[in-house]
Amino acid sequence: MRLFKWTQVLRDHPYLKKLDALKAELGGFFPSTDFDTTEKLNPHNWILFLCADNQPNSIYILNEIAELIRYYNYLGKPESYHIKNKEGAIDYSHLQEWLFEIQVHYLLSGIGLFPEIEQTYLSEQGIIKPMDILLTLGEKSYNVETTKYYDRFKEELLAFGTQIIAHIQTTAIKRKLTLDEIFSGYFAFKERNEQVLRKNKSVFTQGVKSFIHAYRSVKETTIFLPAKKVTDQFEFHIEPAFSNNYENGYEKNLDSFAGYIKFQLRADLYLNRTIANVKASVKESITDRNKRLLAKIKDKINQHKTCPHSLLIVIAIEQVFTSHEKNRASAIDSNDVDLEAIHKLIYGKAIILLLFKTLKIDGITYHKMILGDLREHQPLITALQNIDPIIYYEKRDFKN
């Protein structure tokens, strides 16, 4: 990052100003053993992949993490956020969710509000329910519910695509595939069901193995290639790459599927190497995306329908791509949000703060959207409009 800073003449760039301090902040919080490549590494440790990416855009996320860790330490209540267990081990599988709750606390305090944690309320059924954050503004109090809106099927499909690329490349090298053995095909799913996708990933690896075996166990000059696998849930097909169906043929058969991955191993004779191509595609409409967003909001309203405080729901909608499989795919674009439908759903029940974050090669962008009854909640809505979602290391002085 220092080299990038110097070559790009970015001396005063806020994300690059304090690299040594940022490194010390992260190194002082995360156990060094989690980043020791001589040991067995936690597959959920996506921060390791950020550090190893060697891409300038990774520094944006690392800045955000370091600043939130610094704020977490400043709050002095580590037991409120279950980032570490009693032995000091990090819960990487849920770290993004915990950091988002800290982020909302950070943003609210940054506009002069005083969010409280470890607060509860007694429901009408006599059940004690915890709140992520309690916020008091004037005579009104708010139960601040933090959550993230994911498209888990799309994200699982993208992760599978990453795994397929790695497997194809590894197979080509280890098995020393010949020109006759290069292949293409597709894996298509009939419904948006991430569980089905996750449980059937081995079908691909077994299919590749069977395809190669067909060529290497030829009897009487006949090659018996594996047949197309068709079930009620998915369709898998692998064939010789010289069919040339990867470019133009497969899509004709895949329009009716909820999502698919098409793959190809091709040979570049000029460079004398093989190249893996993979494309993932999800069939969905703007209406479908809004239905899932409305269902998410409705679920949070029902969760706290007997709460004595007004409800503020803060929802993160992110698009973050790194070399780790757990990437965030934008569940809906800000321009596609059905504002009228949300207003009808939340009227008299909640305020919504949508925080959009997009990490691309050329940087990170943030966008916020506030929805609610201005007459009923004007002081809070006015305050929320002052939120600056951009977070970088040592942006704020917590002592004042």
Alpha helices in the chain (DSSP H): 2-7, 19-29, 46-52, 58-75, 95-110, 152-174, 194-199, 202-216, 245-248, 251-254, 286-303, 339-346, 374-384
Q: How far apart are CA 231 and CA 257, in angstroms?
A: 13
Same domain? For 293 and 314 the reply is yes
Same domain? For 116 and 170 the reply is no
The two structure tokens encoding residue 75: 């709050």
Same domain? For 87 and 199 the reply is no
Domain boundary among 255, 282, 309: 282
161 domain residue, yes or no: yes
Per-residue pLDDT at 362 exceeds 70: no
User: Is 101 in contact with 133 (CB distance < 8 Å)?
Assistant: yes
144 domain residue, yes or no: no
Per-residue pLDDT at 309 exceeds 70: yes
Per-residue pLDDT at 321 exceeds 80: no
Same domain? For 243 and 366 the reply is no
Question: Which tens digit of pLDDT belongs to each residue from 372-391?
Answer: 999 999 999 999 999 999 99
Q: How far is CA 280 from CA 75, 153, 162, 207, 236, in A?
A: 42, 12, 10, 18, 14
Same domain? For 50 and 162 the reply is no
Q: How many residues does the chain have?
A: 400
Torsion of CA 382, 386, 391, 396, to 10 degrees: -110
393 domain residue, yes or no: no
Model's pTM, two decimal places? 0.88
Report for 51-55, 107-111, 272-276: range of highest mean pLDDT = 107-111
Question: Which tens digit of pLDDT belongs to each residue from 215-229?
Answer: 888 777 778 888 999
DSSP-derived pairing of the beta strands 310-320 and 351-360? parallel
* Predicted local confidence at residue 268, as pLDDT: 74
Same domain? For 123 and 191 the reply is no
Q: Range of 198's domain?
A: 153-282
Q: What total of structural domains would you count in the chain?
A: 2
Same domain? For 343 and 303 the reply is yes
Same domain? For 170 and 236 the reply is yes
% of the chain surpassing 70 pLDDT? 96
Q: What is the DSSP secondary-structure string of 139-157?
A: TEEEEEEEEE---HHHHHH
146 domain residue, yes or no: no
Same domain? For 299 and 183 the reply is no
148 domain residue, yes or no: no
pLDDT band at 325 (very low <50, low <70, confident <90, very high): low
Question: Which tens digit of pLDDT belongs to each residue from 332-346?
Answer: 999 999 999 999 999
Domain boundary among 224, 254, 282: 282
User: Is 74 in contact with 110 (CB distance < 8 Å)?
Assistant: no
Question: Which tens digit of pLDDT belongs to each residue from 65-109?
Answer: 999 999 999 998 777 788 888 788 898 988 989 999 999 999 999
Domain boundary among 219, 254, 282: 282
Per-residue pLDDT at 276 exceeds 80: yes
Same domain? For 126 and 165 the reply is no
* Predicted local confidence at residue 79, as pLDDT: 75
398 domain residue, yes or no: no
The two structure tokens encoding residue 280: 């993932």
253 domain residue, yes or no: yes
Same domain? For 296 and 348 the reply is yes
Report for 7-21, 76-90, 145-159, 183-197: range of highest mean pLDDT = 183-197
> Residue 230: beta bridge partners?
235
340 domain residue, yes or no: yes
Same domain? For 254 and 321 the reply is no
